[in-house]
Amino acid sequence: MGPTGAGKSRLSIDLATRFFNNAEIINSDKMQVYRGLGITTNKITMQEQLGVPHHFLGEFDPIKSVVKPHDFRKLASETISDIISRRGLPLVVGGSNSFIYSLITKRFDPQSDVFNGPDPDPVSSELRYKCCFIWVDVCLPVLNQYLSKRVDEMLDSGMLEELAEFFGSGEHLTVNRSGLGQAIGVPEFEGYFTTVEEDVVRQVEVYNDAVRRIKDNTCQLAKRQVGKILRLKDAGWDLKRIDATEAFREVMTADSGGGRVAEIWEKQVVEASVKIVKQFLEE
Ligand code: ATP
């Protein structure tokens, strides 16, 4: 678990490839379950997966379907049973707390919302699995700085072209608005791709404004996600927090070579997680 950008996918691959050779990953990011917009939604690539099996990553048609928490509960629990029957280790990885909550809580009421609104329903601490929860956290000012840089990197690596194709092919008109249509990047860039600006200066302004809003909305998302995690923790969920701030601070240091980041990540995040998981498996 953890806010967007905190390194959940990377950690899951580190754990799966080096420590638990029977692990299979169940994606629990509600935008990454849909086919398409891989860069915009930050899906782990095939190369990065290093052969670790992934479930619910780009599996659903964004035009027809909206995957709701109760759908995820049903489908992911079937997959978990399947993985366990093959003596595998299911790792649920992702930032959508509503998905994690629906999957793990003993009794799930699709009508109730434990995270949103002025008077959210109480969080249940009765769980249907024995879970080891790892919460990768990064202090918000540092994470915000990183998220802003990540948006620039996503744009450099083809996010704009991906969205141009999405809008150009008219997919934005057919995609479900309550599903992939909500992915950060889609509403923000809609005006840029759907309104013809004669004036180049104005077009640049619209572009810059979209990028600024993506950065703001991503930082807001991270903050809300941490709020939801704290809500689970306050309700008694035994979440083990791992602080990855130092690794991210190092990433943000201009002259830092990748080596030092990898070293800090290994010591403070990977080793700490392995210890927690091993302890859990021995219990
Ligand atoms: P909610 O209570 O809104 O259902 P949640 O905890 O289930 O929240 P989040 O993962 O926090 O789900 O997603 C909330 C919103 O953040 C999404 O509807 C979407 O707009 C945006 N979002 C989440 N993940 C991504 C992603 N990978 N790419 C782009 N946008 C995302």
Could you tell me the distance, in angstroms and rounded to a whole number, from the CA of residue 254 to the centre of ligand 1? Answer: 30
Q: Is the CB–ligand 1 distance for residue 32 below 6 Å? A: yes
In this prediction, residues 93-112 reach a mean pLDDT of: 96
Q: Is residue 102 in contact with ligand 1, taking CB distance under 6 Å? A: no
Does residue 229 have its Cβ closer than 6 Å to ligand 1? no
* Average pLDDT over the chain, rounded to an integer: 94
Sequence letter at residue 271? E
Question: Closest ligand 1 atom to the C-alpha of 96?
Answer: 10
Q: Which atom of ligand 1 is nearest to the CA of 224?
A: 11
C-beta 96 within 6 A of ligand 1: yes
Residue 160 CA, ligand 1 centroid: distance in Å: 20
| pLDDT on residue 62 | 92
Cβ atoms of 167 and 246 closer than 8 Å: no
| Cα(107) to centroid(ligand 1), Å | 23
Q: Is the shortest distance between the CB of 116 and ligand 1 below 6 Å? A: yes
Mean pLDDT within 111-121: 92
Ligand 1 in contact with 43 (CB < 6 A)?
no
The Å distance, Cα 82 to ligand 1 centre, comes to 27
**Section 189-195 average pLDDT:** 91
Q: Give the angle subtended at the CA of 256 by the CAs of 253 and 258, to the nearest 5°.
A: 125
Residue located nearest, by CA, to atom 1 of ligand 1 = 98
pLDDT tops 80 at residue 256: no
Measured CA to CA in angstroms, residue 177 lies from 50, 71, 99, 226, 250 at distances of 33, 17, 18, 25, 38
Q: In this predicted model, what pLDDT tens digit does every residue of 44-70 receive, in sequence order? A: 999 999 999 999 999 999 987 899 999
Alpha carbon of 235 to ligand 1 centroid (Å)? 22
Instruction: Return the ∠ at Cα 31 (arms to 26 and 35), rounded to 5°.
Output: 85
Q: Pull the structure tokens for residue 213.
A: 């809003």
Q: State yes or no: pLDDT of 254 exceeds 70.
A: no
pLDDT of residue 253: 84
Evaluate: CB of 30 within 6 angstroms of ligand 1: yes
On whether the CB atoms of residues 72 and 99 are closer than 8 A, the answer is yes
**What is the atom index within ligand 1 of the atom nearest the CA of 95?**
10
Q: Verify whether ligand 1 is closer than 6 Å to residue 184 (CB atom).
A: yes
Residues 6+ apart with CB under 8 A from 227: none
Q: Please state which of the ranges 25-29, 109-113, 158-162 shows the lowest mean pLDDT.
A: 109-113
Cβ(183)–Cβ(167) under 8 Å?
A: no
Dihedral sign (CA 95, 43, 148, 196): negative
Q: What is the mean pLDDT of residues 266-271?
A: 96
CA dihedral 144, 146, 150, 151 (to 10 degrees): 30
Look at residue 141 in the predicted model and tell me its pLDDT.
97
Confidence of residue 4 (pLDDT cuts 50, 70, 90): very high
Domains, the chain: 8-282 (3.40.50.300)
Alpha carbon nearest to ligand 1 atom 31, residue: 183
Instruction: Check pocket membership of 167 for ligand 1, CB cut-off 6 A.
Output: no
